[in-house]
């Protein structure tokens, strides 16, 4: 199986994120995640790891607004130019309500306009790392468009919380959406998001489209991040109506209940008859994830992938979340082992 990975992710290493109550905690979405996955992949003879191709900005601008991309490109330089007291990471303290906000010129004003929370911390190498991550997704898509049964974008930073014009939840560029949109010029695409958190960015990007079906299975936003999106009654809009499905799950959901929900999601995909499948593969559904409250075991993760593989669709898997670094290697092997 071809796996696309770039060392450039190491340039994105924010010093902390801010949790509930204003708590500064070490950044959970850290470079060590990739080292743990690579260590595991290196023990497998089927793991064929490649550098991504540079696809340039056009496929990214096909899903993200130009002014948002401009913000990402210049945010760090603009941040330093404000002579901040603590320059270690760009993080705003105000956020724009989406009711007709003005877009201010100030850097922190724009940061709050383009960010949804306090976990999409920008540092010097964030933009470069985000571009390389998107190229890993595009390279995996290209490989599958070229006839491979499956490929894996070992993307960092992750992408599924990033919308058309916003960053959030460790995500800046929506890698899965970029790959799905790129593939959609060759036929219908289904995106299945099995990360613990709702794929709100992917939902946002494809919400009015009927050529890309988006499905997310996740912890109920009534108790979990991202809180305001990911409810079962959100089904798409305009011609996209009926082409989005959320499957919110209660805390404590175990393997059997998860797999039953997955089966219902896969039925929607079968009915849609896509040419390609993109899977947002977050490993934070794992029982011992520090951010998660769903209880899927490593064996369960293998069964998730097995059910997905039973669709027999050309499949692009994209790395999303997963924060129990010690379990990440075996969870990714359990997942990819069924898709390879
Ligand atoms: C890609 C991805 O998985 N992003 C997840 C971002 C989640 N941010 C969560 C912030 C909520 C903090 N609540 C902490 C509770 C820890 N027990
Ligand atoms: Zn997640």
What are 22-61's pLDDT values in tens digits?
999 999 999 999 999 999 999 999 999 999 999 999 999 9
Res 100 pLDDT > 90: no
Q: Which helix (H) or strand (E) holds 214?
A: strand 212-219
User: Is residue 64 annotated as a catalytic residue, yes or no?
Assistant: no
Ligand 1 atom closest to Cα of residue 169: 6
* Ligand 1 and 223: CB distance under 6 A: no
Predicted pLDDT of residue 32: 98
Give 288 Cα–ligand 2 centroid separation in angstroms.
13
Residue of 169, 227, 289 best suited for mutating to test ligand 1, as the one with most atoms within 8 Å of CB: 169
304 has a pLDDT exceeding 90: yes
Cβ distance 291 to 324 under 8 Å? no
Closest CA relative to residue 339, chosen from 316, 322, 323: 316
CA nearest neighbour of 173 among 62, 271, 86, 249: 62
- Each residue's pLDDT tens digit, 108-143: 999 999 999 999 999 999 999 999 999 999 999 999
289 within ligand 1 shell (Cβ under 6 A): no
Distance from residue 225's CA to the centre of ligand 1 (Å): 6
CA distance 280 to 288: 20
What would the pLDDT profile of 142-201 be if each residue is shown by its tens digit?
A: 999 999 999 999 999 999 999 999 999 999 999 999 999 999 999 999 999 999 999 999
Closest residue by CA, ligand 1 atom 8: 169
- Residue bearing the CA closest to ligand 1, atom 4: 169
**84: pLDDT strictly greater than 90:** yes
Ligand closest to 176 (CA) is 1
In this predicted structure, the answer to whether residue 236 has a pLDDT above a threshold of 90 is: yes
The active-site residue, picked from 12, 160, 161, 197, is 161
Q: How far is the CA of 51 from the centre of ligand 1 (A)?
A: 29
* Angle, helices 298-309/255-272, rounded to nearest 10 degrees: 20
At what angle are helices 126-145 and 175-183 packed, to 10 degrees?
Answer: 30
Enumerate the β-bridge partners of residue 277: 190, 315
Q: Is the CB of 163 under 6 A from ligand 1?
A: no
Ligand 1 centroid to Cα of residue 290, in Å, is 9
Q: How confident is the model at residue 97 (pLDDT cuts 50, 70, 90)?
A: confident
pLDDT in tens, 272-300: 999 999 999 999 999 999 999 999 999 99
| Residue of 189, 242, 256, 245 lying closest to 218 (CA atoms) | 245
């Amino acid at each position: 199986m071809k796996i696309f990975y770039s060392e450039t992710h190491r340039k994105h290493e924010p010093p902390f994120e801010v949790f509930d109550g204003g708590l500064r905690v070490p950044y959970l979405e850290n470079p060590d995640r990739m080292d743990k996955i690579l260590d595991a992949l290196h023990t497998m003879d089927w793991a064929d790891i490649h550098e991504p191709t540079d696809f340039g900005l056009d496929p990214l601008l096909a899903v993200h607004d130009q002014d948002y991309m401009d913000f990402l490109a210049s945010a760090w330089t603009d941040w330093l130019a404000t002579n901040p007291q603590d320059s270690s990471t760009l993080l705003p303290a105000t956020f724009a309500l989406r009711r007709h906000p003005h877009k201010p010129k100030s850097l922190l004003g724009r940061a709050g306009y383009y960010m949804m929370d306090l976990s999409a911390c920008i540092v010097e190498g964030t933009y470069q790392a985000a571009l390389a991550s998107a190229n890993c997704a595009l390279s995996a898509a290209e490989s599958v468009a070229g006839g491979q049964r499956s490929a894996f974008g070992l993307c960092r930073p992750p992408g599924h919380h990033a919308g058309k014009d916003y960053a959030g939840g460790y995500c800046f560029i929506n890698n899965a959406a970029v790959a799905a949109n790129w593939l959609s010029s060759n036929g219908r695409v289904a995106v299945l998001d099995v990360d613990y958190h709702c794929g709100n960015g992917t939902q946002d990007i494809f919400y009015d489209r009927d050529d890309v079906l988006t499905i997310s299975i996740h912890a109920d936003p009534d108790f979990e991040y991202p809180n305001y999106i990911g409810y079962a009654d959100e089904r798409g809009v305009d011609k996209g109506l009926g082409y989005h499905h959320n499957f919110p799950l209660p805390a404590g959901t175990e393997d059997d209940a998860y797999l039953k929900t997955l089966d219902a999601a896969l039925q929607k995909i079968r009915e849609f008859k896509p040419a390609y499948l993109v899977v947002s593969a977050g490993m934070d559904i794992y029982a011992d994830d520090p951010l998660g409250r769903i209880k899927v075991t490593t064996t369960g993760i293998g069964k998730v992938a097995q059910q997905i593989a039973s669709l027999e669709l050309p499949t692009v898997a994209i790395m999303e979340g997963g924060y129990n670094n010690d379990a990440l290697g075996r969870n990714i092997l359990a997942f990819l082992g069924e898709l390879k």
